[in-house]
Amino acid sequence: MTETAVAQRLRELLKAVKPLAAEYYRLTGKPLGVTGEVAEYVAAKILDLEPAPPRTSGYDAIRRTPEGSQRIEIKGRAYGEDAKPGQRIGRIKQGAACDVVLLVLLNSATLDPREMWEAPYAAVAKRLAKRGSKARKRGQLGVSEFKRLNGASQIWPKTPRSLNEVIAALPASERRKIEARARRLIAEEMSLQALRKAIGKTQTVIAKRLKVGQDAVPKLETRSDMYISTLRSFLKAMSGDLELIVKFPDRPPVRLEELGSGGSRRKRERHSALRRLRGKVRLQLDLETLRRDRS
């Protein structure tokens, strides 16, 4: 059997062993003892690595890159949701002829991959050489310790990109749509402080218009509850006005009038009209009285 055929047959065997090992763990709570081999299988499949020939010393797979080949030592660890960060990975060969150490963390119950981390072998060897730990002397590192190594990084699944990176990768037309939508959302819902800044009003200006000290402005802006009249006055100081809209599930929205206005235009007009009417009534009564007196 050729070397390529042997490697292919090994991959087939590991594929068949994986569900059996997972079932064994579910039944007994103990690993079957093939975690390392399963880790090599899933790493080669997911990361497109080339398995090293059987009985190769120092590394388990090869990564082909434009810069050249990298020799990779693969270490597997069953690592459940309740796993302790201090759990240790298998012995790492010291002085091995490899370039990178790859840590494959597998779900304890299913042996499906959870995370893959890698670190330069030089960083691993330096950490193992540090005195003060019997485990390191045996060539073992804790999972969290491995992740903290200089140059260590999570390579699978890929660490999510930031929102800005995702947006920057979109076509220009899509970015414009997102920016326009963001502006609409900001305009729909803003804090008093954000609104004041958006329209370019300083705390000094608002305080002067409200006839209060400047230190009162941030207190008003962060207040969770206030009178409607206070809110109306604050918005008026920003050259704005307040409208109260009531929404019902079975009828069109209704705008409330005069609530919290403390002297709205319509109220003043009605009061003025009432005063004029009372004046006319009194004048009519006086005229009637004068006519009766003359007669």
User: What does the domain layout of the chain look like in residue ranges?
Assistant: 3-156
Judging by DSSP bridges, how do beta strands 113-120 and 244-248 pair with one another?
Answer: unpaired
**Contact criterion met (CB below 8 Å) for 258 and 264:** yes
Residue 97, sorted as left (phi over 0), alpha (psi -120 to 50) or beta, turns out to be: beta
Supply the pLDDT for residue 197: 84
Judging by DSSP bridges, how do beta strands 68-78 and 100-106 pair with one another?
Answer: parallel
**Across 145-149, 159-163, 258-262, which has the greatest mean pLDDT?**
145-149
- Residue of higher predicted confidence among 26 and 236: 236
Range of weakest confidence among 16-20, 85-89, 284-288:
284-288
Cα separation of 216 and 221, whole Å? 9
Judging by DSSP bridges, how do beta strands 244-248 and 251-256 pair with one another?
Answer: antiparallel
List the structure tokens of 212: 């209060």
**Contact criterion met (CB below 8 Å) for 94 and 139:** yes
CATH 3.40.210 for domain 3-156, yes or no, is yes
Q: What is the SS3 assignment for 246? A: strand
Three-class HEC string of 104-151: EEECCCCCCEEEEEEEEHHHHHHHHCCCCCHHHHCCCCEHHHHHCCCC
Rg (CA), the chain: 38
Cα separation of 78 and 22, whole Å? 10
Supply the pLDDT for residue 85: 65
Instruction: Assess whether pLDDT exceeds 80 at residue 209.
Output: yes
Instruction: Assess whether pLDDT exceeds 60 at residue 261.
Output: no
Burial 206-245 (b: 16+ CB within 10 A, else e): bbeebeeeeeebeebbeeeeeeeeebbbbbebbeeeeeee
Residue carrying the six token digits 């004029």: 276
Instruction: Assess whether pLDDT exceeds 80 at residue 170.
Output: no
Query: What share of the chain in percent tops pLDDT 70?
Result: 89
List the structure tokens of 165: 């990176």
How many CA atoms lie less than 13 Å away from 22 in the CB half-sphere?
Answer: 16
- Residue of higher predicted confidence among 75 and 131: 75
**Cβ-proximal residues to 65 (8 Å cutoff; 6+ apart), any chain:** none
pLDDT, one tens digit per residue, over 113-134 is 999 999 999 999 999 998 888 8
